[in-house]
Amino acid sequence: METKRPHNLAEQISAYLDGELSEAERAEVQERLESDPDARRLMAELRQVCHLVGSLPREHAPPEIMELVTAQIERHELLKDGPQAGYGVPRRRPRWGRIVASAAVIAMAASAGYLTFVSFRNPAATRTEERFGPVADAHRATPPEAPAERTGPKAAVKHKGPGYRDAEEPPAARPSPAGRSPQGPSQAVRVFEPPVAARMDEHVPKAPMTTAPAVEIVRAGRSGRVESEAGRRLPEVLAAKADGLAEGPNVQEAVTAVPPAAMADTPTERRTADVAPEQPVAAGSEEPADRLEIELAFGDVASRARAGREIVQLLNSLAGSVVARSDLPYGQAAKRLTPGAPARELVASQPERTSREPECEPGRDFAGERIVAHVAAASLPGVIARIERAAQRARTVHATAGRRVVTDWEQVRILADGYGRYATPPLPGDSPACTSLGRAAAGLPESQTEAAVATRTGGWRAKPLPSARSTVEAEAARREREDHRARAVTGMPLEGELGAKPLGELPKNTRTEVPLPMSQPCLSVAQADPDGSDAKTGKRKGGVTEWRFDRAAAGRPASGPTGTGRVPDRSPEPEITPAEDASLRLRVVLVVSPAPDGHPASAPLSGQRDRRLPATRPGP
């Protein structure tokens, strides 16, 4: 007992300091303290330890915690009833899942067919007999309370087997559409016979339907037509969905607007209707298999990975409509980017591994700077808007996390092939990389490509200022972060970004320049016309482009210095001297550009980028 005493005493003193002893224990410890100087010294030291630990400065949660949690909750709520999101490789649906899905599709088809059939048997449906003649006669010949009809879709599926027909269905009860069977009609069998659907297509006029819908199924077909079932008026339905898609507030809406492809083959009776040409859904549906390429070229590795994770998660949440894969292994493009450093130094920096890299192994997580996905055309606008928001959120979060990151040269480049309605034909002299504004134009040295200079062959070029940051720049960065944070909170894009207006409002066959945020000093980058004619703020004549720094666009007083100059085409080191208080932060947010068949932009990667990044492992 005596040997345990020192240990017990220290433990009791520790608890005594915390006030966690009973009355008897406390009295015992106090008595010991009065008589034992070692015990008193021990208590003093333990008290000091407690004080030292307790005096550590309290860390306050970063302000973006709330935004992060809210965003995660939003995503959780969004995906709660939908497909589960995951990283990296899209999960293969288990076999039983496919079986169940197939059964569900069959059951849905049976239900739709049955309900359609019932709707045609409804006396309220006027002129049905005139339209379908013998079919309507067959309806009349079979009373509504016939057993075959009462069994509904379930029985209809059962009746599909030829054995059933031979055993239970008299041959005379079979349908009698032309060219099918000489026997008489039978409701249950007749409903699911393909020739009936064919006849429906032939005879049903394309006028808007007024029949009350028994079941609402709207789908975008690969033919570019939108099909409706059960007589729903299409224009209203599509307009509502198109509005939702254009705003892009809810991925789930975009998903529901694009039912699984399996539905396109359901053997149900259908009616087709042309979609008004101004419907974005119809326009996007012209090319149903859209290749969506997202290139992340901002910040450092961690911020790109964060954005990539968000985007891949978003894409994976659209399971069935999207197949996402990444092409570049994470970490190979790692660069240590230093704010204010010359672009050339950025490239010279060695890749640096961080503790976060193992979280992003290829095949398990987002694995690169480039994501290729195939998105159903109808959901493309909503998907793009969400991608931009996800990338923006990731940038914002990272920029305010107290880490050293570069946000000066941000860019998210999205190539949406086949997005024909808003397609822009490539201009002469454009390299593949230049089919969108921005990154890595042909002819620029790699040092400038790293800086993500918005450029175009023969057009405008800029480079970051090599000097150290000034307080003005730091203040501008702070304002920019606040803007981004405000956007992350409200979900509203800032003025000038593409997301601020529906894609449908973009001018056709023109490039779209996205101005910088109002708080950001900017360089007005004008695109010279390929034929050398006057452009908005620049002229290109004889291979030389004149430029000027647009102070008005930058929100600067008109009395300040205004830069002008002449830049030879393809000059490797263009000299652009902005006003002294302007940091050349070119920020191209989003450009949807065309990729016509055969155009080099359809290639996975341009050579320029391949040189900069090491060889890649193919994505899963």
Partner 1 sequence: MTSAAAAIAIEDAVLVEQTRQGDVSAFARLVSKYQDRVFNTCCRLCGHAEDARDLTQEAFLQAFKAIDTFGQRSGFYTWLFRIAVNLSISYRRRNRREIRLSLHDAEDGEYAGGQAAGLLRHPRGGPSTENPSGPMQERETHEAVMAALESLEDEFRAVVVLRDIEGFDYRQIAEILGVPPGTVKSRLHRARMALREKLAPVIGAA
Please give the residue ranges that form the binding site for partner 1 (CB under 8 A): 10-11, 14-15, 18, 20, 45-46, 48-50, 52-62, 65-66, 68-70, 72-74, 76-77, 300, 302, 336, 339-340, 352-355, 358, 399-405, 468-471, 473-475, 477-478
Q: Identify which of residues 76 and 203 has a Cβ nearer to partner 1 in the complex.
A: 76
Please say which residue, 31 or 45, places its beta carbon nearer to partner 1.
45
Closest distance between partner 1 and the C-beta of residue 84, in Å? Answer: 13
Backbone angles phi, psi at 389, to 5 degrees: -70, -40
Q: Residue 462 burial by CB count (10 A; 0-12/13-18/19+): exposed, middle or buried?
A: buried
Distance CA 620, CA 88 (A): 8
Indicate the residue among 11 and 274 with the shorter CB distance to partner 1: 11
> Smallest distance, Å, CB 324 to partner 1?
22
Tell me the sheet residues that pair with 373: 292, 324
How far lies 274's CA from each of 206, 235, 304, in Å? 8, 9, 42
Which residues contact residue 483 at a Cβ distance below 8 angstroms, ignoring those fewer than 6 apart?
Answer: 494, 517, 519
Nearer to partner 1, 453 or 477 (CB): 477
In the complex, the smallest distance separating the C-beta of residue 83 from partner 1, rounded to whole angstroms, is: 17
User: Nearer Cβ to partner 1, position 55 or 210?
Assistant: 55
How many Å apart are CA 403 and CA 405, to the nearest integer? 6
**332 exposure class (CB count in 10 Å sphere: 0-12, 13-18, 19+):** middle
CB of 49 to partner 1, least distance (A): 5
Q: How far apart are CA 275 and CA 23, in angstroms?
A: 84
Give the shortest CB-24-to-partner 1 separation in angstroms.
16
Residue whose token pair is 């359809």? 602
Spatial CB neighbours of 123, under 8 Å, sequence gap ≥ 6: none
Q: Which lies closer to partner 1 via its Cβ, residue 409 or residue 547?
A: 409
334, 353 Cβ separation under 8 angstroms = yes
Rounded CA-CA distance 371/397 in Å is 21
Residue 70 CB, nearest approach to partner 1 (Å): 6
Instruction: Please state, in angstroms and as integers, the Cα–Cα distance from residue 388 to each residue in 321, 359, 382, 492, 497, following that order.
Output: 19, 23, 10, 11, 10
Tell me the closest approach of the beta carbon of residue 4 to partner 1, in angstroms.
13
**Which residues on neighbouring strands pair with residue 229, listed in sequence order?**
217
46: burial class by Cβ within 10 Å (0-12, 13-18, 19+)?
middle
State which amino acid sits at residue 476.
Answer: A
- Minimum CB separation of residue 334 from partner 1 in Å reads 11
- For partner 1, the closer of residues 15 and 579 by Cβ is 15
**Least distance from C-beta 248 to partner 1, angstroms?**
20
Nearer to partner 1, 5 or 536 (CB): 5
For residue 471, the minimal CB distance to partner 1 (Å) is 5
Distance CA 462, CA 531 (A): 22
For partner 1, the closer of residues 331 and 515 by Cβ is 331
Q: Which is nearer to partner 1, 9 or 189 (CB)?
A: 9
- Please say which residue, 205 or 402, places its beta carbon nearer to partner 1: 402
Please say which residue, 423 or 584, places its beta carbon nearer to partner 1: 584
15 contact partners, CB below 8 Å, separation of at least 6: 21, 25
Which of residues 467 and 564 has its CB atom nearest to partner 1 in the complex? 467
Please say which residue, 124 or 468, places its beta carbon nearer to partner 1: 468
Side chain identity, residue 62: P
Q: What are phi and psi of 273, to 5 degrees?
A: -145, 140
CB of 407 to partner 1, least distance (A): 9
CA-CA distance, 77 to 73, in Å (whole number)?
Answer: 6
| Residue 412 to residue 589: CA distance in whole angstroms | 6
**What does the angle CA 519 – CA 248 – CA 455 come to, to the nearest 5 degrees?**
45
Shortest distance (Å) from residue 307 CB to partner 1: 15
- Whole-number Å distance between alpha carbons of 128 and 502: 42
CB 399 within 8 A of CB 601: no
User: In the bound complex, what is the minimum distance in angstroms from residue 306's beta carbon to partner 1?
Assistant: 10
Q: How far is the CB of 582 from partner 1 (least distance, A)?
A: 16
Instruction: Check: CB of residue 374 under 8 Å from CB of residue 290.
Output: yes
Q: How many CB atoms lie within 10 A of CB 610?
A: 12
The 3-state secondary structure of 32-70, one letter per residue: HHHHCHHHHHHHHHHHHHHHHHHCCCCCCCCCHHHHHHH
